[in-house]
């Protein structure tokens, strides 16, 4: 079962939920930028949530299917078309042999995910299929997809095959989809929730107020490693020496320029810039869907609010998974 890459697009990589347990050796986590959309895509084809899938950035990716296959497309609306007809998203679909899937233009959001029933057949590297581009490991030969690459897909299990037959009988679509609005925000002006960082109190009062009262813009220096932001200059009350220490997905660091940098999926393992804030886990997938020039308003929340929002999103994902399996099995 294979898929041929006709055009790799701006950046298309194989990801899963990340490479954990190796940061102490300097190996970054990587993984899907928008893990809610990623997990939903796998649920919708009957895979385990951590199975390898494609992460597609902005536009240009074109894939030729060399066999009938069940897929799901989630995440941002990048104007996905199959044989020049708009593709159905956030639901399982049956793609016929010889069909071409293309992503033409980012209408909403920045990243889309394509999961294949059975999952992508690439070897695990340190327990993960995620592509770590700078080290050249994971995914397909440790790099982004290239023209004429072949994506091998694993053999399907009993549930995958049942899904295939239901789609085949119904004409490729079961008329069952996910309402993603409760999971991610695809708007390009967003309120992103933040808890205070470990060095928050070392910033002057003007900077503290600016963080939560003035807008910031995502610059063109925005990739899987981090988003450089434009907006009010954030300043410390006095200079101080900070030893490098662990950082995580969503850490807001402030370098000497005063322009914050938001660390994303391919972040480094440690950092030495002061940390003014930390984006809550529940908002990181929405953050991943922001394009350059997007506007962010940061809102301070408590740890308790952050935890409650994370639990809420996890319940939504569990409901999606349970509802989908019930639909297929009954």
Q: For residue range 185-242, list pLDDT tens digits in order.
A: 999 999 999 999 999 999 999 999 999 999 999 999 999 999 999 999 999 998 877 7
Residue 170: the pLDDT is 76
- Whether the predicted pLDDT of 125 surpasses 90: yes
Q: Do residues 291 and 190 make contact, with C-beta atoms less than 8 angstroms apart?
A: no
Question: CA angle, corner 11, sides to 260 and 89, nearest 5?
Answer: 100
- Give the residue carrying structure tokens 């347990």: 21
What string of H, E and C letters represents the secondary structure of the chain? Answer: CEEEEEEECCEEEEECCCCCCCHHHCCCCCCCCCHHHHHHHHHCCCCCCCCCEEEEECCCEEEEECCCEEEEEEEEECCEEECCEECCCCCEEEECCCCEEEECCCCEEEEEEEEECCCECCCCECCECCCECCCCECCECCECCCCCCEEEECCCCHHHHHHHHHHHHHCCECCCCCCHHHCCCCCCEEEEEEEECCCHHHECHHHHHHHHHCCEEEEEEECCCEEEEECCCCCECCCCCCCCEECCCCEEECCCCCCCEEECCCCCCEECCCEEEEECHHHHHHHHCCCCCCEEEEEECCHHHHHHHHHHHHHHHHHHHHHHHHHHHC
* Tokens coding 140: 């397909």
pLDDT tens digit sequence for 201-210: 999 999 999 9
Are the C-beta atoms of residues 296 and 192 closer than 8 Å to each other? yes
* pLDDT value of residue 239: 83
pLDDT, one tens digit per residue, over 136-177 is 999 999 999 999 999 999 999 999 999 999 898 876 667 777
Q: Global pTM?
A: 0.95
Each residue of 264-273: pLDDT tens digit?
A: 999 888 888 9
């Amino acid at each position: 079962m294979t898929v041929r890459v006709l055009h790799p697009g701006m950046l298309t990589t194989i990801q899963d939920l990340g490479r954990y347990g190796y940061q102490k050796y300097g190996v970054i986590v990587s993984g899907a930028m928008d893990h809610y959309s990623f997990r939903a895509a796998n649920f919708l084809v009957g895979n385990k949530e951590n199975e390898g899938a494609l992460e597609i950035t902005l536009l240009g990716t074109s894939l030729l299917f060399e066999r009938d296959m069940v897929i799901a497309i989630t995440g941002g609306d990048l104007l996905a078309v199959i044989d020049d007809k708009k593709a159905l998203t956030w639901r399982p679909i049956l793609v016929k042999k010889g069909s071409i899937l293309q992503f033409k233009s980012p209408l909403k959001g920045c990243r889309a995910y394509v999961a294949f029933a059975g999952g992508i057949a690439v070897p695990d590297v340190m327990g993960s299929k995620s592509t770590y581009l700078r080290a050249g490991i994971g995914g397909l030969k440790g790099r982004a997809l290239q023209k004429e690459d072949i994506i091998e897909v694993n053999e399907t299990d009993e549930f995958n095959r049942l899904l295939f037959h239901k789609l085949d009988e119904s004409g490729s679509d079961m008329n069952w989809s996910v309402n993603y609005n409760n999971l991610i925000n695809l708007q390009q002006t967003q309120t992103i929730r933040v808890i205070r960082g470990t060095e928050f109190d070392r910033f002057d009062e003007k900077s503290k107020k600016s963080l939560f009262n003035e807008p910031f813009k995502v610059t063109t220096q925005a990739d899987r490693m981090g988003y450089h932001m434009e907006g009010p200059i954030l300043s410390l009350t006095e200079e101080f020496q900070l030893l490098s220490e662990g950082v995580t997905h969503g850490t807001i660091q402030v370098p000497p320029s005063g322009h914050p940098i938001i660390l994303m999926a391919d972040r480094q393992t440690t950092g030495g810039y002061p940390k003014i804030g930390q984006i809550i886990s529940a908002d990181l997938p929405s953050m991943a869907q922001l394009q350059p020039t997007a506007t962010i308003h940061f809102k301070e929340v408590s740890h308790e609010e952050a935890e409650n929002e994370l639990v809420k999103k996890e319940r939504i994902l569990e409901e999606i998974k349970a509802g989908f399996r019930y639909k297929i099995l009954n």
